[in-house]
Structure 1
């Protein structure tokens, strides 16, 4: 089977581990630059890059009949935090109230403290706690043209709960929150076993968003866990068995595509001229 990795960083630790597993299993792995082009089709593609060029390439591959994990549509949805929150809350998920706020300098009389984030999720985007006007002015000077959203600050326990799902398998860790400490830096991370309810919540997110590889960020709210972000195809670094789960997912999706094609060919043969004539 041939697996394509749409990425600008084929040496990423998880992708490199997945590629090694697949090659040892006798499969072919090809790194696909996000800008393309692609000549022959692989049996399945893993969409790690999330640039506009990568999304355009993924849509073209899907149009040509190749399965892409995650789909271009699901990946793009998770880049817009307003659309993400609207979909989650419409589905009954406990997602933090998320409001489009234009640009930072346009915020009028906000209720402190609050959390401000880039509206469009990407690497090195803006995520900050704002405790007062001075901090707001500082951020507005550093990010003058950034479209942002606001969320209420949830004190929680001071720990971010990170859940990653790969093909239905849940991995988890927790780390001291940079927003709770107010230092702008996250603290130590540690292994963490989520409750059955939190694991089920993470799996439900995948159903709602149409994702197979994703991350869910949770905080402890006053009455229930609160989802504060969803990420398509995160790094999942340091999680034992994550590369194996990702390799198995790629092979499963690829096999489904190959099986569907064979079934289509057999159906065509079965309906050929003269078959079944009496």
Structure 2
């Protein structure tokens, strides 16, 4: 099989470990830089954010298509490329549409709450420099999820002014602050396998460094909730962030194809998923599925 990695950093630990496993088993792994047009150029050509309804010429690298592509990058260019590959008949995990949806926290929250998932109440706030603050304290986030985006607890007007000076033109959302233990429950799912840890929240105060991790075995109901998220969002590889505390389960974020760092068995699960989807593509199309994320 030939597996393509659409990633800004193919050497990311989970991708590198997955690639090594696949190569050991005799498969070919190729890095596919997330090239393609900018969002503005793509939209001008009729190519939407998830890559629909536009010709693939100029987007797909020359040569034979891979049997499956793993979409780790989430930039507009990567999404445009993934959409073009899908129109050429290549399966992409996760799909361009599902990945794009998880980049917009307003759309994410709307879909989750409509499906009955316990997602934190999320309100679009417009540009941060023009935000009419809700009741303090509250959580402020970039509307569009990406690396190094804005995630902050706002306890009063002084903190809001400080953030507005740095992020005035940033589209944001607000969520009510829900007290917890200062840790987040992190659940990652790869093709139905659930991995988990507790991590020190970046919104926490007091002892402990943000990102500090601790092993954690999720209760069965938390694992079931994580699996339900995948069904609703059409994802095969994803992360679910839950508040850790006495409140009922509260989902605060869903991430398409997260890093899943330091979780034993994750590279094996990802390699198995890639091979399963590739094998399904190789079978006659009639009556064959394309993996959970491809069935939506």
TM-score of the superposed pair, with normalisation by structure 2: 0.86
Displacement over 6 Å in runs of 4+: none
Contact persistence 2:125–2:132 (CA under 8 A)? no
Q: CA separation of 1:19/1:112 partners in 2, compared to 1, >3 Å: closer, same or farther?
A: same
- 1:108 is matched with 132
The answer on 1:243 being equivalent to 2:267 is: yes
Matches for 1:84-233 after TM superposition, within 5 Å:
84-181=108-205, 186=210, 188-220=212-244, 223-233=247-257
Contact persistence 1:155–1:180 (CA under 8 A)? no
Q: CA separation of 1:125/1:184 partners in 2, compared to 1, >3 Å: closer, same or farther?
A: farther
Q: CA separation of 1:242/1:229 partners in 2, compared to 1, >3 Å: closer, same or farther?
A: same
Cα distance in 2, alignment partners of residues 263 and 186 from structure 1: 47
Contact persistence 2:121–2:176 (CA under 8 A)? yes
Contact persistence 2:120–2:251 (CA under 8 A)? yes
Contact persistence 2:200–2:209 (CA under 8 A)? no
The answer on 1:55 being equivalent to 2:79 is: yes
Does the residue aligned with 1:211 lie in a helix, a strand or coil? Answer: coil
Gaps of 5+ in 2: 36-58, 289-296
TM-aligned CA deviation for residue 188 of structure 1: 2.5
Cα distance in 2, alignment partners of residues 182 and 103 from structure 1: 30
Gaps of 5+ in 1: 265-278
Does the residue aligned with 1:179 lie in a helix, a strand or coil? Answer: coil
Cα distance in 2, alignment partners of residues 108 and 78 from structure 1: 25
- RMSD value, Cα: 1.8
Does the residue aligned with 2:267 lie in a helix, a strand or coil? Answer: helix
- 1:7 is matched with 7
CA radius of gyration, larger in? 1
Task: Tell me the alpha carbon deviations over residues 18-56 of structure 1, each in whole angstroms, 9 at most, x when there is no partner.
Answer: 110000001010000100542211100000001111100
Cα distance in 2, alignment partners of residues 95 and 187 from structure 1: 22
TM-aligned CA deviation for residue 180 of structure 1: 2.5
TM-aligned CA deviation for residue 110 of structure 1: 2.2
Contact persistence 1:101–1:107 (CA under 8 A)? yes
Q: CA separation of 1:163/1:153 partners in 2, compared to 1, >3 Å: closer, same or farther?
A: same
TM-aligned CA deviation for residue 70 of structure 1: 0.1
Cα distance in 1, alignment partners of residues 274 and 227 from structure 2: 18
Does the residue aligned with 2:161 lie in a helix, a strand or coil? Answer: helix
- 2:24 is matched with 24
Contact persistence 1:2–1:42 (CA under 8 A)? yes
TM-aligned CA deviation for residue 178 of structure 1: 2.3
